[in-house]
Amino acid sequence: MDCSAFPRVLVVPLLVCSTLAFAGEEDDMEEMQRRLNTETMSQPFLAEQPEKVEAYIQDAMKKNLKPKEYTGKNWRPGYTCRDLLRYSWTDYRNCKYYHRYYGRYYPYY
């Protein structure tokens, strides 16, 4: 019996199966990328806009306004103001003023 043909018989079906599996994964990856792109583009883009934040802080300080405590649901331990930017530009701006005024971030309750 010639054993040299035996490995070739196993290799060909494995190559065919792996190629088909890879093609299916590629389609899945493309679909996942399309969904991610759609989800990302449907959300508003909130830029930091440091000049507007600075103008707000300067104006509030001139008026001697005390910044309010954060009352939203998005503040977590270890967060900085930048973490609030994904939820609301106004929350981000107010956090920056709070941080400048008190020298610390919001407390977590």
pLDDT value, residue 25 = 81
pLDDT value, residue 75 = 95
- How many structural domains does the chain have? 2
Digit-coded pLDDT (tens) for 7-65 = 555 555 555 555 555 667 888 889 999 998 888 787 767 788 899 999 999 999 999 99
Asked if the model's pLDDT at residue 103 lies above 90, the reply is yes
Task: Quote the DSSP letter at residue 19.
Answer: H
Determine contact, residues 71/106, Cβ cutoff 8 Å.
no
Residues 2 and 34 in one domain: yes
pLDDT value, residue 91 = 95
Residues 5 and 37 in one domain: yes
Domain assignment present for residue 107? The answer is no
